[in-house]
Structure formats: C-alpha cells, structure tokens
C-alpha cells in the first residue's frame, strides 16, 4: 500500500482509468480482457484508497455508480433540448406516403437560405419550422439516403454531460419536463460517467433490460411470492423509477444511445493531454456520422443500423428484422427511419409533435399459436352469454394469456372453430386477446363441435337471440332482425344481478373501495343484497358475522359505502348498467339536461319520473345518442321495478351532484369535437385523457365512424387506427392533444 499522498493520487487516477477501460471493453465493446476476480480486486483497492482519502475521489470513479441514500421522490427537470416522438407507420403504403410527403417538402425548401447545418463549434437540434420559400438549390433525390435503426423497446433516457462528465440523466416525461434519474442511470455500466473527450453534450437513447435478466428477476420474485414483470420494458421502466439506486443496480440494466441532440466542443479541462483528442472530433453532417461520433465519445451504439437509398431497401431491412427480432436478447418493436443528411433534417424541422425527417415503422401486432382446451360461457350484466376460449397458456405481446374472447356464436361459426383446435391468437396494445385463425391442417380428428347452451348455465332459465330494439326486446321467431348475442331471459338471473352490482360499484360508477367480485358474490349468497339499492342499507352488524369480515374490515366497507352516496349524474347513469348507455352517453345526458327540458333534478325520485316521460325521439334529439341507446333508456325508465330501486336509494341518502353546464360552456375549447382513443398512452391514462376532453367540452366515443373528429393514438394501437385511416379521420398523438387542450 502506498503512503505518500501524491503517489496515492497517481495510483487512484491509474486505477480509475484502468477500471473504466475494463468497463468499456466489457459492457460496450463486449470483449473483456480480464476476469471478474481481477476486476473485483482492483475495485476493492480503489474503494479502500477512497475511504482513506475521500478528497481524492474522482467524479468518474466507478465506485460512484451505486451510492447515496434512497430518494424521497424524483425531482422534475426541464430538458435543454425538447424531446419529440416519431410518427408511426404500420405498412409499406404508409412508408411510401411518408417518403412522398418528405420529398414534396424538400422541393419547397430554400437550402441556400439555410446556411451551414450547424455552427462550426456547436450542434443543436433545430426545432424551428422549415423555410418554405422558393427553392434555389435543392439536393438530388437520387442522392437522398436514409438510416434504418432497429427500434429498441425500452425507456427513453436523456443524458447531459459537461466537460465530458455526466451531470444529469432524465426520463422523457412530456418532452419538455422529465424526471431526474441520474443516480439510477449511473448504475448502468454501458453509460460512461466520463466521456473520451471533454465536450458538453446532450445525448438520447434507450434504457433496456435483457430478456435473460428479466427471466432471472422473475425467477427470484416468484420464489419470494412477488408479482412477476409482464415484459422487459415494464421491468426497465419500473427499475429506472426506483427511489433506491441499489434496487436499480441489482437489475443490471443496459443502454443504447442513438441521437446527439446538442454538442459543444470546448477547449476546457485538462487541455494539455486533450488538445489533440479534441481536434479528432469533426462535425457530424449525417446521421451515420452521429452514430460514429457517439461511439467515439464512449457510448454503446446498437450495431444493427444500415444506410438505405430508397424505400425498397428500407422495406428489405424491415422485413429482415421482422423475422429475426426475437433472436436478440432485448425487445425490438420496429424500425426507426431517419433522413441521413443533417442539413435536410434541419431544413425540414418539426411538426407540433414529431420530426418531419424521421418515422417509426412499427412491426405488426404479435401473433402466436396455441390450443383451445375448452370453451365456457359467461353471463354478463345485460344477460348476454359470451363464449370464452380457455387456452393452453402462452406469452403474446409480452403478456401470458390463458383466455380469449370468442364474442358470440356467429364468430365461432365464421372461424369454423372447434374445441381442441390449434389457433392463432393476436394481442395488440391493451386490446383483449382474440382468436384470428384456425390451423385446420393440424386437426387430429378428436376435436369437438361447440354449441351455445339451450339454457342459461347459471340460472337454468330460457335463452334466446333477442331482436335488436323494441321495448324489452323480442324473442326468436318474431318479426325483426336477430341480435348477434344470445341472452338469458330471466331478469332475476343470479349471474346477471351479480354483474350488475359489480358494474355498479366499479371505479367508473360508485367507486366503492373494498367491494370486489368475491365480496359481492358473498353478500348475494347470504341474501344481504338482491339489487344495487340494498348496498346502501347495509350495516356493520350485517357484515361482522360473515367470513372474512372482522370489525375493521366491516367498518372500512360501511365507510366506503357512506362516502360514495354523493355521485355525479354521468357516473350515476353509467353505474345503472343500462344497455348501450356507457360513460360517454352519461356525459352527453348530463350536458344536455336543458335541451331535454327536464330542468335541474335534485332528487332521484324526480329524476326517475322526469326521465320516464321522455320518448325515444326526445333522447335522440341529443347529438351522440343513437336509436339503440334511446330505446334502452325508454325501456329502463319505464320499468316500475327500476323506479322503485331509485326511490329506495334516495331513501338511503344517495344524492346526485348535478353538472354546472354554464361553467362547462365557458370552458368548451373542444365543443362539438368527438374523440376516440386507442393504444397505450404514456403521459396519462385513458380515463384521464377522457376527463380532459370532457372538461374541454369535447365528446368521447368508443368506436371510430365518419362522425369522429380525432383519433388519439398511443403505443401499439388496435384496429381503430386502421379504420380511422380508411375513413380519413385525423390521427393525433399525445403532444398535439396536449396543445389542443392547452396543457
């Protein structure tokens, strides 16, 4: 052990340099020169010296990767350069349209007015709109090239360096404000704490977790009885947002860096030894130059990128990776395409939400094969009998699934489906898995035909294909069009009543905490509730004798019921479970009470009586309420039993909070606009987005039609996206949506 402090300082510096070199060779270049034992021994010596001489600890010391106390919360930080999301295309036609659009814009750009791509010493992504003046010097399209990079399914990270040292790491957030996750990012060994050159820069990349590491983590979590991560992206996102860096460190995250958002080449710091190194850095004039420069700075850059001359070559690259994406140890969900020329990138600029010079070409929804082991029928709150496929468990789109909806009897016949069949199932985004194809060549002859039951599987009552429309419906054989679904005709069916109660107490309804499916079934089995009004008459004495109900849990549930007695009109209407009356219809009714000429309804009794007088035509006078919803509303409020339930709830203290229509009108930024949502939203939940739209005066629909004004698209959109394209509905992302609502 050296004792002279000057010698110690030199030793510490050499140790840091050697260990960082080994880190780079192992985690970035994937060619380790030393064994783990040697690496650990050097780290141990460095740690001992730094403990004895803490003033000699360097900012890029590898001992600083895991340290500090757990945080109480993450701090918000403003990005130096705004972060954008690429627009998506999903097929070759979409790719060609993007390419044609870009070329039309390039035709209009005056490149002589653009000047050089960047100043001689500084690079900053320019978010200004393009100069669309008359062209005087445009590039030849025959020389316009594209860089294709595999799209990593991870979490976007933004790293900021000053004088070559990492000073901050942040999540994307809303593109303007992110969260400071520096201590967690330091635990990623492929992220350098000190660059190979003393520059100021902002780089963008993806934090990811390998599939093999996910398997190891889930194995440990299973032993501990903890919930498993559904996929590596969720695990990576959860790890980065751990308040304790030691947890993040234990999960062995990795990274790929793909963009250089800002670069300033200064001549600061240890000038003597770095003057020549600084001169090695040239201006990146292309995306390929940027990737090479990122590697030179010391970042891990994904090796799977290619320079393409046209859309045909892009398509070849895309199809190649669509086939081999699953062979990599990290998730790949598409290909990112960028125009190679930085000059053209700068000239094209950005829209309100995305770069014009790039696009994400997404892979199709994931499909896998499995076997249908059985088909069982569920009975819903409307009495509809829904066949559900019980599958041999299989992982699709990152989730393990064992069931898939078959919708109705007609769908089973259309597919030609039998129990025991090998089938193709598909899952895209948050869409429920569905069976899309039967592989009939794999049949053994032992498969069984499925037939819808002749009696309700729960109550044994009559079932029928009820004709659409008509007060109360009509039975099969009568004049009219049969519905796609089969229904239980017993209005007192236990399954129907149970589902009604579950729907009534759900989050979008009365939101009674602690009243889940098992509790509802228990209360109904004990005869304590027979309909939704009975809920508000429950007492602590009713609950305490029941299994699973101690004094505290009984108090909690009674308290939750008491707290739920005041509810907004739209939530109340949704909670009633009227067929074809969802949350959107509830909002429409609440907004249009004056148009319906029912006035301000203070009591449930007066609400029931007022609504009972409305005709089918009265309901349909509200924009957005169709024939089916109108007929259901007339039928429900004409039923004396339903009016009795309303009266009983009123006697139990249930009150409706009426909407402030005057205030709504003053804040109607989106008045008259109808939105449909699809895919996974990153910045907010679907319910939050719906609330934003409604508060701004807009309407939300569950299906795309010609009346739809906007489709709000998140990650992995479903079939609504394709339908919107076919109908010419405007598709928007989260950034554009935020601007519309003024967020």
Among 567, 556, 570, 511, smallest CA distance to 699 is for 570
Q: Could you please report the per-residue DSSP string of 576-617?
A: TT-TT--HHHHHHHHHTTTTTT-----SHHHHHHHHHT--HH
How far is residue 383's CA from residue 495's CA, in Å, rounded to a whole number?
8
Indicate the helix (H) or strand (E) that contains 700.
Answer: strand 699-700
Query: From CA 153, how far away is CA 326, in angstroms rounded?
Result: 12
Q: In the beta sheet, which residues pair with residue 713?
A: 678
- Do 710 and 673 touch, CB atoms closer than 8 A? yes
Identify the active-site residue in 9, 96, 103, 151.
151
Catalytic residue list contains 277: no
Cα-based torsion angle of the residue sequence 667, 669, 674, 679 in order, rounded to the nearest 10 degrees:
-100
CB-side neighbour CA atoms (13 Å) of 244: 4
Q: Where are the alpha helices (DSSP H) in 173-210?
A: 182-185
Pairing of the two strands 366-379 and 122-124: unpaired
Q: How many Å apart are CA 716 and CA 427, to the nearest integer?
A: 10
DSSP 49-93: HHHH-GGG--TT-GGGSS-SPPPSSPPEEE-SS------EE-SHH
Determine whether 204 is exposed, middle or buried from the number of CB atoms within 10 Å of its CB (0-12, 13-18, 19+). Answer: buried
CA–CA separation, 293 and 280 (whole Å): 10
Cα–Cα nearest to 504, from 535, 528, 459, 460 = 535
Task: Output the six-digit token pair for 112.
Answer: 């002589």
DSSP, res 142: G
Helix H, strand E, coil C: the string for 337-397 is EEECEHHHHHHHCECCCCECCEEEEECCCEEEEEEEEEEEEEECCCCEEEEEEEEEEEEEC
Q: Of 715, 654, 656, 709, which is closest to residue 682 (Cα–Cα)?
A: 715
- Residue from 373, 370, 442, 421 nearest 400 by CA: 370
Active-site amino acid positions:
151
């Amino acid at each position: 052990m050296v004792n002279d402090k000057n010698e110690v300082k030199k030793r510490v510096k050499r140790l840091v340099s050697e260990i960082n070199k080994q880190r780079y060779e192992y985690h970035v270049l994937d060619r380790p020169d030393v064994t783990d034992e040697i690496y650990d021994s050097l780290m141990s010596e460095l740690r001992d010296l730094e403990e004895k001489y803490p003033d000699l600890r360097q900012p890029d010391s590898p001992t600083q990767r895991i340290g500090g106390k757990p945080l109480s919360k993450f701090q918000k930080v403003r990005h130096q350069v705004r972060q954008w999301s690429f627009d998506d295309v999903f097929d070759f036609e979409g790719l060609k349209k993007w390419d044609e659009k870009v070329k039309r814009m390039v035709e209009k750009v005056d490149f002589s007015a653009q000047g050089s791509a960047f100043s001689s010493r500084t690079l900053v992504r320019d978010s200004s709109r393009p100069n669309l003046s008359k062209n005087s010097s445009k590039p030849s399209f025959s020389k316009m090239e594209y860089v294709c990079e595999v799209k990593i399914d991870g979490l976007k990270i933004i790293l900021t360096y000053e004088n070559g040292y990492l000073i901050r790491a942040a999540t994307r957030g809303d593109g303007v404000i992110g969260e400071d996750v520096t201590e967690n990012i330091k635990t990623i060994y492929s992220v350098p704490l000190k660059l190979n050159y003393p520059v100021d820069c902002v780089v963008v990349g993806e934090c990811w977790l390998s599939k093999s590491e996910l398997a190891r983590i889930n194995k440990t979590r299973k032993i501990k009885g903890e919930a498993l991560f559904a996929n590596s992206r969720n695990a990576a996102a959860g790890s980065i947002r751990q308040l304790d860096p030691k947890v993040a460190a234990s999960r062995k995250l990795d990274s790929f860096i793909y963009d250089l958002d800002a670069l300033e080449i200064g001549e600061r710091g240890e000038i003597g030894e770095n003057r020549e190194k600084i001169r090695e850095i040239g201006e990146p004039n292309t995306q390929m130059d940027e990737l090479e420069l990122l590697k030179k700075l010391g970042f891990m850059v994904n090796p799977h990128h290619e320079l393409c001359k046209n859309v045909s070559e892009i398509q070849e690259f895309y199809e190649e990776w669509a086939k081999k994406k699953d062979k990599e140890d990290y998730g790949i969900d598409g290909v990112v395409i960028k125009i190679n020329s930085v000059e053209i990138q700068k000239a094209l600029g950005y829209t309100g939400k995305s770069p014009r010079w790039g696009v994400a070409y997404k892979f199709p929804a994931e499909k896998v094969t499995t076997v249908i082991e059985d088909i069982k029928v569920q009975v819903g709150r409307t009495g509809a009998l829904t066949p559900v496929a019980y599958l041999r468990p299989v992982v699709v789109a990152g989730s393990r699934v064992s069931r898939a909806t078959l919708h109705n009897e007609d769908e089973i016949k259309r597919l030609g489906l039998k129990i025991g069949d090998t089938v193709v199932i598909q899952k895209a985004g948050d869409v429920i898995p569905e069976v899309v194809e039967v592989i009939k060549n794999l049949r053994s002859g032992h498969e069984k035909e499925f037939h819808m039951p002749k009696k309700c599987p729960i109550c044994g009552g009559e079932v029928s294909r009820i004709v659409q429309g008509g007060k109360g419906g009509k039975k099969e054989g009568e004049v009219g069009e049969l519905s796609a679904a089969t229904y239980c005709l017993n209005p007192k069916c236990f399954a129907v009543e149970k589902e009604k109660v579950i729907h009534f107490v759900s989050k979008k309804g009365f939101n009674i905490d602690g009243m889940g499916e098992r509790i509802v079934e228990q209360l109904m089995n004990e005869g304590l509730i027979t309909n939704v009004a009975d809920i508000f008459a429950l007492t602590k004495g009713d609950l305490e004798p029941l299994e699973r109900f101690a004094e505290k849990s009984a108090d909690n549930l009674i308290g939750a019921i008491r707290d739920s007695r005041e509810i907004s009109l739209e939530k109340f209407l949704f909670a009633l479970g009227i067929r074809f009356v969802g949350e959107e219809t509830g909002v429409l009714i609440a907004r249009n009470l004056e148009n319906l000429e029912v006035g301000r309804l203070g009591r449930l009794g007066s609400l029931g009586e007022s609504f009972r007088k409305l005709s089918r035509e009265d309901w349909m006078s509200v924009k957005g309420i169709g024939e089916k919803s109108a007929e259901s509303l007339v039928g429900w409020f004409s039923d004396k039993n339903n009016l009795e339930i309303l009266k009983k709830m009123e006697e139990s203290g249930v009150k409706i909070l009426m909407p402030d229509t005057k205030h709504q009108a003053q804040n109607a930024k989106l008045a008259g606009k109808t939105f449909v949502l699809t895919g996974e939203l990153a910045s907010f939940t679907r319910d939050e987005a719906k609330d934003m739209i409604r508060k701004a005066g807009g309407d939300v629909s569950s299906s795309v039609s010609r009346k739809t004004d906007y489709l709000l698209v998140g990650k992995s959109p479903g079939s609504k996206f394709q339908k919107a394209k076919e109908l010419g509905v405007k598709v928007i992302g989260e950034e554009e949506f935020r601007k519309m609502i003024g967020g």
